[in-house]
């Protein structure tokens, strides 16, 4: 399950007087996976020492950190990791999230929780949909730059066998002769005339109807949802689907292959390569709009942390651009805290957050906001 805005709200609503936030990189496979529990153990020990420095007794510190210590010894837990792990302790309940982005090792002990490393996961950086089709299985995925998560709930046909109302068996209708022609003697099957669909036509009609139903179900599922769609299917299936779909330009591209021959990482990489140019163009246009408004004196733009925060809290921020990179992400000064809060308020009020390389930001700013009014 992907880390969501609801998870962020839960963390922000949980405000312990002493909260512990632990971040570490993890590994999906390979020998490095054996180092991940050791890394968490060391970070938990660092958190214990920091708690004791603040006046917490050793016994209370170890009790607070017990859920992290339990994870260290949980062999099964470490067999199913992503690229980063975030652990939050001290609130109403312990929380941990497996994240699709690599995280720097970090321990923060303070009132509430430290959420800055989570923001890239929620930034609008390539939300799209992947549809894979074979006769045996149809899959739908919610995807972003960082992750690919299967949607097993969407009401779409999942296989050709599940589609009702289609004949499962071909019956070859044979007739020896037209009804008005006299039939003299016996007629062998080899000389019989075939009336109705040939086996090839029957299979094609069945496939076309299957694709029609998939297309209709997907369009209903994506009603009012403008995310681009990437289709992965063989030549025949994708041809029939494109004839039946009404997605138009929302169908961003097609990968012509059997999706069952791709693992999850390969599928994600191939699909993101199709939509990435459009997402990069969206970022470029946002920067251009910021610079145009600054140049023309248009008041619907903010670039100072305090102005951005005030606009975000008022629900005026449509798009917030934040610089990514080690300096911006590790920055812990007062303006950095203001920008963290601005990002949260922007998301809470239905705006978008986009992360850009520092050298791509408008006029070298650390942040810039396009305002609704």
> How many other CB atoms sit within 10 Å of the CB of residue 334?
10
Q: How far is CA 115 from CA 21, 60, 181, 268, in A?
A: 8, 24, 84, 26
Answer CATH for 277-371 from 3.40.630.40, 3.30.1330.30, 3.90.45.10, 1.10.1040.10: 3.30.1330.30
| pLDDT at residue number 46 | 97
Candidates 292, 161, 156; CA nearest to 216 is 156
Q: What's the full length of the chain, in residues?
A: 373
Q: Which residues of the chain have pLDDT under 70?
A: 1-2, 124-126, 163-197, 199, 202, 325-336
DSSP 8-state symbol, 259:
G
Answer CATH for 5-121 from 3.10.50.40, 3.30.960.10, 2.60.40.10, 3.40.140.80: 3.30.960.10
| pLDDT at residue number 125 | 64
**CB within 8 Å of 228: residues ≥ 6 apart:** 128, 129, 250, 251, 252, 275, 278
Tens-digit pLDDT profile for residues 178-220: 444 444 444 343 443 444 567 677 677 778 888 999 999 999 9
Domains of the chain, by residue range, sit at 5-121, 128-262, 277-371
Q: How far is CA 169 from CA 196, 199, 225, in A?
A: 14, 10, 38
Confirm whether 5-121 and 128-262 share one CATH topology. Answer: no
Candidates 210, 214, 211, 179; CA nearest to 195 is 179
- Residue by residue, DSSP assigns 127-164 as -EEEEEE-SS-EEEEEE-SS-EEE---S-S--SGGG-T
SS3 (DSSP) at 354:
strand
| pLDDT at residue number 126 | 67
| pLDDT at residue number 18 | 95
| Helix ranges, the chain (H) | 5-13, 36-53, 58-64, 66-72, 75-78, 119-122, 199-221, 235-244, 264-296, 305-313, 326-330, 334-348
Using an 8 Å Cβ cutoff, are 58 and 116 in contact?
no
Answer CATH for 128-262 from 2.60.40, 3.30.420, 3.20.20, 3.40.50: 3.30.420
């Amino acid at each position: 399950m992907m880390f969501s805005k609801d998870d962020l709200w839960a963390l922000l609503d949980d405000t312990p007087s002493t909260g512990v936030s632990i971040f570490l990189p993890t590994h999906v496979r390979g020998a490095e996976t054996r180092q991940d529990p050791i890394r968490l153990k060391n970070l938990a020990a660092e958190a214990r020492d920091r708690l004791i420095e603040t006046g917490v007794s050793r016994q209370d510190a170890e009790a607070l950190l017990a859920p992290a210590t339990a994870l260290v010894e949980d062999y099964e837990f470490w067999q199913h990791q992503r690229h980063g792990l975030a652990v939050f302790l001290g609130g109403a309940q312990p929380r941990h999230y497996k994240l699709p982005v690599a995280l720097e090792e970090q321990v923060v002990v303070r009132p509430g929780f430290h959420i800055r490393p989570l923001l890239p996961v929620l930034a609008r950086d390539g939300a799209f949909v992947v549809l894979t089709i074979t006769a045996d299985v149809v899959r739908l995925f919610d995807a972003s730059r960082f992750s690919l998560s299967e949607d097993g709930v969407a009401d779409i046909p999942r296989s050709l066998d599940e589609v009702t109302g289609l004949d499962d068996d071909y019956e070859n209708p044979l007739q020896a002769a037209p009804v008005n022609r006299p039939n003299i003697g016996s007629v062998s099957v080899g000389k019989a005339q075939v009336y109705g669909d040939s086996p090839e036509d029957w299979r094609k009609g069945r496939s076309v109807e299957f694709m029609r139903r998939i297309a209709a179900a997907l369009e209903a599922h994506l009603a009012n949802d403008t995310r681009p769609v990437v289709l992965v299917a063989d030549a025949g299936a994708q041809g029939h689907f494109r004839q039946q779909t009404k997605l138009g330009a929302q169908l961003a591209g097609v990968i012509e292959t059997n999706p069952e021959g791709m693992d999850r990482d390969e599928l994600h990489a191939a699909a993101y390569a199709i939509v990435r140019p459009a997402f990069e163009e969206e970022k470029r246009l946002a920067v251009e709009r910021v610079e145009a408004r600054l140049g023309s004196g248009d008041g619907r733009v903010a670039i100072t942390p305090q102005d951005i925060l005030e606009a975000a809290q008022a629900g005026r921020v449509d798009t917030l651009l934040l610089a990514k990179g080690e300096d911006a992400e590790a920055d812990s000064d007062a303006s950095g805290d203001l920008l963290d809060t601005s990002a949260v308020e922007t998301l809470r009020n239905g705006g978008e957050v986009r992360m850009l390389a520092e050298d791509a930001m408008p006029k070298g700013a650390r942040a810039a906001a396009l305002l609704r009014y």
